[in-house]
Amino acid sequence: MADAPRKSRLVSEVDFNKDGKQTGFIRLFHSTHDSAYGFLPIPIVVVKNGEGPTALFTSGNHGDEYEGQVALTNLAKSLDPARIKGRVILLTMANYPAALAGRRVSPIDDLNLNRIFPGDPDGTVTRQIAHYIDSELIPLADFVMDLHSGGSSLNYVPCALATQSNDPALFQKQLAALRAFGAPFTYIQGGAQGQGGNQTLGSGAERRGKIALGSELGGCGTVNPAGLAIAERGVRNVLVHLGILPQSDWVEPPSPTRFLDVRGQDYYVYAPENGVFEPLVALGDTVAIGTPAARIHFTETPWLPPVEITFKAAGIVMCQRIPARTKRGDCLFHLASDLKIA
């Protein structure tokens, strides 16, 4: 006989099946020197009205990415249960300890929440959070969107994204939801080649047959106002698209989204040496194969010439590294190229 699936130890203060707006915390018990019987309070908001689809929005999966956290914090206050049909679940600080510290990874176990799905109910704090989201929250949802940005070390052209589902019908639903989200740019990545592979929150949602979307709304560890505006409009438009908010809430995006492709290592530029990174292109630039991308300067050996790196693919510069001090293997840029959608 197979072992029964292990249950999460996290306890929700909110009732997911109750109509109205429920606010509170998911309790993650964490016994420390300072707090023997204490819990980590992971904030959660559930807005429900009768029957209808469920949308789960998460942010703070990486704790130093803020546009999504602000968009969902605003939505938590503005969503009126009387105006919706179905249910909206908001997890503003998915990796609560990381978000509280303003760091990509948890200060408790040094884990990256978006690299450990489906998690472990008996694992360290971040593994328990992943397991709770995967086994308790995602199953409640029809639609899951995990709002990211570039964090402290990267900056992005604000965009939405999806990892292409292997199920063609589900992929069409991803595309329709991405059009509704209406970011100026949307990139599609292949499953195995996406950052995080199959250990991300989004891949957890996809494994359970949910419509899974993501975003990269800016970065540099700050709030990008353009990225925030895209998220605020996009999240509401997705709720209209799903039938949760009324059609009258639709706000037409200034232009249809431009679909882009990010596939394969050639789209990424990495530092070949340790040194100081001088970018030779700007975010949003269109580049060709061979366009100079960056120089790495050797300030410790100033008599040596810098190394110049060129792009190995053509496309739009979607992502750029922020800190100048760079180690061999750091990602400096990634590109995206136009994608024809059938």
Residues that bind Ca ion (CB under 5 A): 62, 148
- Measured in whole angstroms, the distance separating CA 116 from the mean position of its chain's CA atoms is 14
**For Ca ion, the closer CB: 12 or 92:** 92
C-alpha span between 38 and 154 (Å, rounded): 35
Please check whether residue 158 is in contact with residue 228, taking contact to mean a CB–CB distance below 8 angstroms: no
What is the radius of gyration, based on Cα positions, of the chain?
21
Closest approach of Cβ 45 to Ca ion, in Å?
22
**For Ca ion, the closer CB: 148 or 210:** 148
Looking at the DSSP bridge assignments, the partners of residue 275 are: 326
DSSP annotation of 7 reads: P
C-alpha span between 71 and 81 (Å, rounded): 18
Asked whether the bond before 118 is cis by omega within 30 degrees of 0, the reply is yes
Task: State which residue has the least CB distance to Ca ion.
Answer: 148
Q: What is the dihedral of CA 329, 330, 335, 339, to 10 degrees?
A: 70
- Token readout for 237 is 């438009």
- Exposed/middle/buried for residue 31 (C-beta within 10 Å: 0-12, 13-18, 19+): exposed
Closest approach of Cβ 247 to Ca ion, in Å?
32
Closest approach of Cβ 341 to Ca ion, in Å?
25
**For Ca ion, the closer CB: 173 or 181:** 181
Closest approach of Cβ 152 to Ca ion, in Å?
10
C-alpha span between 273 and 180 (Å, rounded): 42
Closest CA to 258 of 163, 158, 191, 328: 158
C-alpha span between 92 and 23 (Å, rounded): 12
**For Ca ion, the closer CB: 59 or 164:** 59
Please check whether residue 28 is in contact with residue 81, taking contact to mean a CB–CB distance below 8 angstroms: no
**For Ca ion, the closer CB: 113 or 188:** 113
**For Ca ion, the closer CB: 62 or 103:** 62
Closest approach of Cβ 129 to Ca ion, in Å?
15
Closest approach of Cβ 148 to Ca ion, in Å?
4
**For Ca ion, the closer CB: 164 or 200:** 200
- Exposed/middle/buried for residue 73 (C-beta within 10 Å: 0-12, 13-18, 19+): middle
**For Ca ion, the closer CB: 21 or 62:** 62
Number of other residues whose CB lies within 10 A of the CB of residue 86: 20
Please check whether residue 81 is in contact with residue 90, taking contact to mean a CB–CB distance below 8 angstroms: no
**For Ca ion, the closer CB: 113 or 137:** 113
DSSP-based three-state secondary structure for 121:
coil
Closest approach of Cβ 151 to Ca ion, in Å?
5
Closest approach of Cβ 58 to Ca ion, in Å?
11
Closest approach of Cβ 62 to Ca ion, in Å?
4
